[in-house]
Amino acid sequence: MQSNFRDWTLDKIDEAFGLRQVYEMETLTQLITPSYELNDFEKQYIGTLQEHFKYGGDDWNEVELENKFISPMMVLAYKPNDKYAYFLERDLAVKIGEYELSGRVDGLIATGFRNPKKPFFCLNEYKKGTDPNGDPKGQALIAMLAAQELNNNQLPIYGCYVIGRDWYFMVLEDKKYSISQDYSCVTEEVFEIYKILKNLNNKVEALVN
């Protein structure tokens, strides 16, 4: 049965694949409680991005949100290398049971130099909380489930969905997943968002080395 990522919601995923949302997960706690301290350049750069968002960010379309805010944060957070990278608008496809899942993921951190191979992190961004093209939580989770299958269910898969100014982080382990509180990019939480992304980079780096 062929199915696109945009067709899925959390309820459908839980029912079809036996997943269960939990509200406490150590792997998520470790992700969202980083010990990283920002340097002066990072504080200034992120503050500048935040100022740009304050002037019209709530009305940006998805391309503007990605290019003006999300990608600059992501690129600043990870180290250039030839083992893994942050990829944009890449397709994933996998067969799980009776379902042939496929779709385009807004952002991926995956092994690979020119093209993604094994993904560890999936991101979806939306201009609004509800969208005619699907549910942000469901699309993020189904992409994470595809990534889990590509990794033979041997690693935790990290995820994030962004709705305008609000960021939510996710972790999928085996049949359980957990979703963080929201982090607003127009408050001091913007620095927490960056610290979490930096922590994510360190975790991915440890997995591929």
Which tens digits make up the pLDDT trace of 61-103? 889 999 999 999 999 998 888 999 999 999 999 999 999 999 9
Assess contact for 180 and 28: CB atoms under 8 A. Answer: yes
- In this predicted structure, the answer to whether residue 116 has a pLDDT above a threshold of 70 is yes
Report the pLDDT value the prediction gives residue 113, as an integer from 0 to 100: 86
Mean pLDDT (the chain, rounded)? 93
How many CA atoms lie less than 13 Å away from 39 in the CB half-sphere?
Answer: 4
Q: By CB neighbour count within 10 A (0-12 exposed, 13-18 middle, 19+ buried), where does 42 fall?
A: middle
pLDDT tens sequence across 132-165: 556 889 999 999 999 999 998 889 999 999 999 9
pLDDT at 66: 93
123-139 average pLDDT score? 72
Q: What is the pLDDT of residues 31-67, one digit of tens each?
A: 999 999 999 999 999 999 999 999 999 999 889 999 9
d(CA 12, CA 10): 6
